[in-house]
Structure 1
C-alpha cells in the first residue's frame, strides 16, 4: 500500500479542514438570513392583514393555511422533522423557497390592483420575494457542498385570480405559508449550525 508523503497528507488534511470551515461559515450566514426572513414574514403578514380591511384581522375571522401546488406545508411537525435527515430537510426548504417568489409576486400583482396606495405592503412583498430567492440559492449551495442532490422539482402554480375576497384570502394564505416556511427553515438551519460550528 502506497504511503502518502507527510507534506502531501498535511495538505490534504488542511484542505479538508478549510472546506469544513467554509461550509460552516456558509451555514451560519444562511441561518442568519433565515432569521431575517422569519422576522420579515411576521411584519409582512401583519401589514397584509392591516391593508385588507374587515373581516381580515377581526377576532371572528379565520382562514386555515392551505397548501398550493408547488408550495406545500412542511411534511411533518417540527418535532417529527428531527427524525428527517439533513438532506431531506434541506431539499424541502430549497423547494419551498425556490417557489415562494412566484407566489409572492402573484400577491404583489393582486395587491397593486386591490390596494394601489399600500406602498409599504408592496415594498415588503417585493423585498420578501427577493430574499426568498437569495435563501433558495444559499440552500442549494450548501447542498452542493454537502454532496446532497436536489429533490424532485415541483413547478410553482400560483392560483388564478378570482373575486376580490378570493384574491385577498389567497394572499393571506400565501403570507401565512411564507411565515411557516421562514420559521421552519430557521429551525432546520439551527440544527446544521450545531453540527457545523464556526
Structure 2
C-alpha cells in the first residue's frame, strides 16, 4: 500500500514517461463507498417510516414531522455550502467517521429501546439492527480510505452514558425519531461527500 509521498513520486514518473494512467490512492474504495452510500441512502426513508408507524400518536399520525425535536449528541449534518465546499478530503472523511461512530452507539441504544417498547415488531427490530451493521461496514471503508491516504483517525468519543437506558418511554420514542431522521440527513451528506471525493480522486486519470 502506497503512502501519499510514494504516490506522488509514481505519478511524476508516469507523467515524465508519457503514461496516460496512474493509480490514485483509495480511488476504487472511494467509488465503492459512493455506491454503498447511495444504497444506504435509498433505505433511510423506509427506516424512518417503519419506526414512526409503531410509536403511537403523534408519531404514527399521517404526515407527522417535527423538525424542532432534538436529542443531545445526535450528529448534525447541517453545514453551509461554502464551508462544505472548502473542506479538505481528510476533514471530510473525519467528519463522516465521527458522525457514524456516534450513530453506531445510538442505533444500538434504539434497538434496546424498541426491544422493550415493541418487542413483537420484528420488521422494525431487523431494520434497526441491519442499519447498525451497515454503518459498521461503511466505517470500515472510511478507515481503509483514511489509512491508504496516510490520514490519522479522529479521536474516539461517545456522547452516550449508561443513564440513557433508563429514559422514560416518550423520551425513547423522541430520540429514536431524531436518530432515524438525522441519520437520513447524514447519509444525504455522505453521498454528496463521496460524489465530491470521486471527482477529486477518480479511478482513472489522464
Calculate the TM-score normalised by the size of structure 1. 0.83
Q: Structure 1 residue 64 and structure 2 residue 68: aligned?
A: yes
Of stretches 124-133 and 56-65 in structure 1, the one that deviates more from structure 2 is 56-65
Inter-CA distance 87–106: structure 2 relative to 1 (3 Å threshold): same
Partner of 1:95: 98
Alignment match, 1:137? 140
Structure 1 residues 40 and 79: alpha-carbon distance in aligned structure 2, compared to 1, 3 A threshold: farther
Structure 1 residues 78 and 153, CA, compared in 2 at 3 Å: closer, same or farther?
Answer: farther
Give 1:62 deviation, angstroms.
2.2
1:51-79 deviations in Å (ceiling 9; x for gaps): 1121014356625253533x421362355
Asked if the contact 1:161/1:167 (under 8 Å) is kept, the reply is no
> Which residue, 152, 155, 160 being the options, matches 1:157?
160
* CA deviation profile, 1:115-139 (whole Å, cap 9, x unmatched): 1121111000000000001101111
Say what the alpha-carbon RMSD is for the aligned residues: 2.4
Structure 1: 5+ residue runs without aligned partners? 1-8
In structure 2, stretches of 5+ residues that fail to align are 1-9
**Contact 1:78–1:184, Cα closer than 8 Å, also in 2:** no
2:132, 2:202 → 1: CA distance?
29
> Does the 8 Å CA contact 1:99/1:156 hold for their aligned counterparts?
yes
Partner of 2:190: 185
Give the 3-state SS of the residue equivalent to 2:166 in structure 1. coil
* Residue matched to 1:176: 181
